[in-house]
Amino acid sequence: MPSLKEVRNRIASVNSTQQITKAMKMVSAAKLRRATDAITQMRPYSQKLTEMIATVSASAEVAKSNPFTTVRDVQRVLIIVVTSDRGLCGAFNANVGKAAVTLVNEKYASQFAAGNVEILALGKKGGEYLSRRGYKVNEAFVDIFTKLSFANVRLAAEAAMDGFVAGKYDVVELVYNEFKNVATQVLQVEQMLPLVEAETTQTKKSSVDYIFEPSEEEIINELMPKALKLQVFKAVLESNASEHGARMTAMDKATENAGELLKELKLIYNRSRQAAITKEILEIVGGAEALASA
């Protein structure tokens, strides 16, 4: 049985840890509120922009000649992995890393063997996870969450888009966590580039004969880059909200576990204290009997 001092030290340590996990839970709860507001406002805009592109491109032949719809033999792959900068959020980051590894193993194994798979890490944890497993990681935008804004995310999206247009990448994939609620994050793996037929014709062709001003080509060339940048920004906002939800859940569970551990330690402490008292009483009684028999 451990000594009373050892148990007291463990109780103090667990108490301190519990206070930290409580504080982290409260911080994540406050940040989650702002993050969910941001993604809730973003979703209708993103959906409407996607519908606009689908409506215009469904009947426009110029969409097929757009550089972002060019389909090539897949030799070089870019995977954009969106994770967090910090841990202590359960399996949030590991799940994204595993999804990226699974994607490579199932679709791009030959490209990876040839060294033609590159990871664009948005968030430190994803880059660390994949670099340890031998992947070529581009960390140019790894600190995107230090100051989260559309301007910063736009630069990362443009780097991927420019690389695709220049032929540096033949396909661009996006891996992130979609926010559902505090306890649920859904892994999403989306092909960002090239824009394929199924993605640009999500809505049925309208029977309305539209008059376009300016031309269809100008509208598509203007909307497609914006939609791609918005797709990455939406993924980052989804991941940001998911991170705080995952951390809040993890810290709540950690606080609960600390409480259970404190109960066990206090029970051990009381037992040890009772055993020490009983031992002292026995020593006193034994000493008294020895004096009486002397």
146-162 pLDDT tens trace: 889 999 999 999 999 99
Q: Which two tokens stand for residue 77?
A: 């792959």
Q: Is position 61 within any domain?
A: yes
Query: Domain check: are 287 and 214 in the same one?
Result: no
Is 89 part of the annotated catalytic residue set? yes
Domain limits at 10? 4-20+252-293
Q: Is position 272 within any domain?
A: yes
pTM: 0.84
Query: Domain check: are 207 and 263 in the same one?
Result: no
The helix (H) or strand (E) run that includes residue 189 is strand 184-193
Query: Domain check: are 189 and 46 in the same one?
Result: yes
CATH number where 276 lies: 1.10.287.80
Please count the structural domains in the chain: 2
- By DSSP bridging, strand 77-82 and strand 171-181 are parallel
pLDDT at 220: 80
Query: Domain check: are 65 and 196 in the same one?
Result: yes
pLDDT at 285: 85
Query: Domain check: are 105 and 238 in the same one?
Result: yes
Question: Which stretches of the chain are DSSP H helices?
Answer: 4-57, 92-107, 109-113, 124-131, 150-165, 197-200, 216-293
Query: Domain check: are 179 and 277 in the same one?
Result: no
Query: Domain check: are 155 and 233 in the same one?
Result: yes
Q: Is position 32 within any domain?
A: no
The conformational region for residue 123 under phi > 0 = left, psi -120 to 50 = alpha, else beta, is left
**Residue 254 contacts by C-beta under 8 Å, 6 or more apart in sequence?**
17, 21
Residue type, 30: A
Q: Is position 57 within any domain?
A: yes
Q: Is position 31 within any domain?
A: no
Residue ranges, the chain, pLDDT below 70:
1, 55-64, 197-210, 294
Query: Domain check: are 162 and 68 in the same one?
Result: yes
Residue type, 212: F
How far is Cα 287 from Cα 277, in angstroms, rounded to an integer?
15
Question: In the β-sheet with 184-193, what is the strand arrangement from edge to edge?
Answer: 136-138, 117-122, 77-82, 171-181, 184-193
Query: Domain check: are 134 and 264 in the same one?
Result: no
pLDDT at 168: 95
Q: Is position 33 within any domain?
A: no
- By DSSP bridging, strand 184-193 and strand 171-181 are antiparallel
Query: Domain check: are 183 and 259 in the same one?
Result: no
199-227 residue pLDDT tens? 444 444 444 566 777 777 787 888 889 99
Query: Domain check: are 208 and 260 in the same one?
Result: no
Q: Which of 39, 89, 193, 232 is catalytic?
A: 89
pLDDT at 1: 64
Query: Domain check: are 42 and 112 in the same one?
Result: yes
